[in-house]
Structure 1
Amino acid sequence: MPVDKITPDDSRVSHRETVLNGQKYHYIHGVPKHGKFKATVFLIHGWPDLSYGWRYQIPFLIQQNMQVVVPDMMGYGRTDAPRSPPADLRLYSIKRAADDISELAKQLGAPKIILGGHDWGGIVVYRTAQWYPELVTHVFSVCTPYTAPSRRFISLAEMVHGPLPQFGYQMQLAGPELEANVTSCDQVRNFLRALYGGRSEQGKPYFRPETGIDLDGLETIGVAPSLDGEACSSEMNSQIVIDSRLQELEYYTREYMRHGLHGPLNWYRTRRINFEDDLKLGTKMVKQPVLFISGRHDAVLTPEMSKGMEAFVPRLTRREVEASHWALTQTPEEVNNIVKEWLREVALGSRSLL
């Protein structure tokens, strides 16, 4: 049976706008039909995603009697994307994201929240839990391991030429090439196809973690399988699955065309800013209970990167799914079941209605 997911115009959720610390944000909001909920869950997306990246988790969490809040992060979708310069690049920092999450929780009257993150969103939820320990009660992260603050600045080049060569693509994202050459609707569409697993007719991938996007070959790229999890396993109704992927691809393309790539790419230009903020943090520990779900086949955030997390996250629960980086949509049933079990046993305990 297919896993339930929201559609862009789904009546079970509302699309809201608000101003957080001077910038307009868009977020998806959902509550159970009866209006009562046991807890508030914020879901934080990463690159190159949107709030809609949590489409399989939103209805599931609503069904578990949760208030669900899913923002488009700074620079993405319908949220503001200030150009920097002249705007301060700190608008795209992790600390700024934490401050905005705190402000949105305050506006919603939620004194305590559970935070879930994926990709950059995983980094954001760990740091938000550290900056706002009275607000964040529990954390779960899909694919993104915890990285403790460093007392020494480590440049991206040093990381790529050292322990994490698979971060080479970030050097391309942080530079000027993509922003200058991926501007039209067709270019953005093919760019997204490449990042979500699109290949040539010969099976050649157009995204490699070590080097980034092959811009020269984007015109011949095929469909993007990771924009619909069912495409990975479904052999029946193949035309329906392909149509669903194309619809999702078009939605993503339209949302990215609102502001272009400048805002999302700025997240890769804040490394030193994030380092300077970490120096002020005053702790390397995440004291809240944490669920970490790794993707066994994630080629960028490899499971090996999570080695030693227990030293900084003493209340850690580990789980793994047979997925690449796009576990939220490739293995949604498995991810949802793991989160459900953790919510019941750890996050809600005796208060659970699950």
Structure 2
Amino acid sequence: MAVDKIEVDDARVSHNYASLNGRRYHYLLGLPKNGEFKATIFLIHGWPDISFGWRYQIPLLLELGLRVVCPDLMGFGRTDAPKVPPASIHLYGFKRAADDIAELARQLEAPRIILGGHDWGGMVVYRTAQWHPTLVTHVFSVCTPYMGRSDAYVSTEDLVKGPLPQFGYQLQLAGPTVEAKITTREQIKMFLSGMYGGRGPNKEVAFSPEQGVLFENLEKLGMTPLLSEKELNYYADEYARNGMHGNLNWYRNRKANYDDELELKATTIEVPTLFILATRDSVLTPAMSKGMERSIPKLTRREVAATHWALWQAPGEVNMHVKEWMESTVLCGRSSL
């Protein structure tokens, strides 16, 4: 069965801008048809994605009576992408993202919000719930398991050598190669199509979890099955605004996140939380979510048979889980939160 989705230039959402702690952010804003809403939900994307990545979920959440806010994270889409250096890498950290979400909520006069995240966005919503516990009422994450703050710094290199060899791609993304080789709009479009599942005639792929972007394959790849040509062009245009530098800074900030979180007191998430596992995710693997209940006592688990792009690949199943959780745990028949 077809799932409703937001189209490029869809009238159900508007493009808005806000100055958040000195930086300009872009966000999509959607309101239920009657203009009245029961609660506000922020949807936070990951890499390589933008706010439009939630296009299949926005209509459902509007139908449930929610005001929907989808920001482009720092370095993505139409949000500022400051160069590092001279800017601080901390601009691309979880603490800064959490503070900017809190500021946007304040400007939108939302004293309490629900948070949904995917990929990096999943880590952002977990940390936002910890940095701003009086702001966040509920959290859901698709694909991204909860990872607590560490008492000792562990580098990406050590993660790759140890428990998470599938994070090898992060070493490539943090380095200079991807930024140097993907510079033009057409290169960006080809790269994104491959990252979203485009294959070559002999099943060549664009990405290896252990190695990263496979540049030798990019020109062989066909169109992604997950986006229309119009949608892919929209993504390419959005990424071409500022190039790859800003979004790749999310892979260069591991030490900055550790330093920020030395001041983080919370070690658990106390609000009701939904985690939707993608059973075929080759990076955020099912094994990584083992034991999440110890840190999130009010955890609900669900799963979908999909890869990392579950939001688009299995939107009906994702939406079903989100809807059931929203109705049973979040809204519970109340007119407002």
The letter of the residue matching 1:318 is R
Equivalent in the alignment of 2:270? 287
1:282-305 CA-to-partner distances (Å, cap 9, x unmatched) read 121001110000001000001110
SS at match of 2:32: coil
The letter of the residue matching 2:136 is V
CA distance in 2 between counterparts of 1:296 and 1:168 reads: 20
Which of 314, 321, 335 is the equivalent residue of 2:318?
335
Is residue 172 of structure 1 aligned with residue 172 of structure 2?
Answer: yes
1:36-67 CA-to-partner distances (Å, cap 9, x unmatched) read 11110000000000000000001110011000
List alignment gaps of at least 5 residues for structure 1. 228-244
Shift of 1:31: 0.7
Equivalent in the alignment of 1:226? 226
Shift of 1:352: 5.7
The letter of the residue matching 1:97 is A
1:134-192 CA-to-partner distances (Å, cap 9, x unmatched) read 00000000000000111011100110111111111111100000101110112111111
Equivalent in the alignment of 1:263? 246
CA distance in 2 between counterparts of 1:224 and 1:350 reads: 40
CA distance in 1 between counterparts of 2:6 and 2:105 reads: 23
Equivalent in the alignment of 1:320? 303
CA distance in 1 between counterparts of 2:177 and 2:224 reads: 22
Is residue 306 of structure 1 aligned with residue 289 of structure 2?
Answer: yes
Which of 326, 329, 333 is the equivalent residue of 1:346?
329
CA distance in 2 between counterparts of 1:93 and 1:320 reads: 28
How is 1:78-227 mapped onto 2 (pairs within 5 angstroms)?
Answer: 78-227=78-227
Normalising to structure 2: TM-score of the pair? Answer: 0.98
Q: Is the 8 A contact 1:194 1:213 kept in 2?
A: no
Q: Is the 8 A contact 1:197 1:207 kept in 2?
A: no
Percent identity, aligned pairs only?
Answer: 59
Shifted more, 183-192 versus 311-320: the winner is: 183-192
Superposed structure 1 runs of 4+ greater than 4 Å apart: none
SS at match of 1:226: coil
SS at match of 2:226: helix
CA distance in 2 between counterparts of 1:98 and 1:8 reads: 27
The letter of the residue matching 2:13 is V
Equivalent in the alignment of 2:12? 12
CA distance in 2 between counterparts of 1:39 and 1:283 reads: 25
Which of 260, 275, 279 is the equivalent residue of 1:296?
279
CA distance in 2 between counterparts of 1:182 and 1:217 reads: 13
Shift of 1:226: 3.2
Q: Is the 8 A contact 2:165 2:210 kept in 1?
A: yes
Alpha-carbon RMSD: 1.0
CA distance in 2 between counterparts of 1:162 and 1:98 reads: 29
CA distance in 1 between counterparts of 2:268 and 2:138 reads: 14
SS at match of 1:91: helix
SS at match of 1:203: coil
How many residue pairs were aligned? 336
